[in-house]
Amino acid sequence: MPTLATPRTEYNELLKRQRKFEEEFNVLKAVVQDEIEESRIRPSVLRRWDRISRDLDKGQGYIFSSTKDALRWLKNL
């Protein structure tokens, strides 16, 4: 069976292209996984989080007297 020899520069170029492709693929995979995770969040929860975010942007926040109260509020979200 005959074998093909590729020049070292061409081989290194192929390796470089493969590394670049794998990096871009990993980025794309991470984005898709994030989108999948977001789609699992119920729309009612997303609306509530948006409302809370808008209130915080307007300067309307929540004040807690203790960490226990803050944790209770977070669990009820």
Q: Where are the domains of the chain?
A: 8-75
Could you report the per-residue pLDDT of 13-65, keeping only the tens digit for each?
Answer: 989 999 998 998 888 888 888 877 777 777 887 788 788 888 878 877 777 78
pTM for the full predicted model: 0.45
Annotate 1-66 with DSSP letters as a single string: -------HHHHHHHHHHHHHHHHHHHHHHHHHHHHHHHHTS-HHHHHHHHHHHHHHHTT-----SS
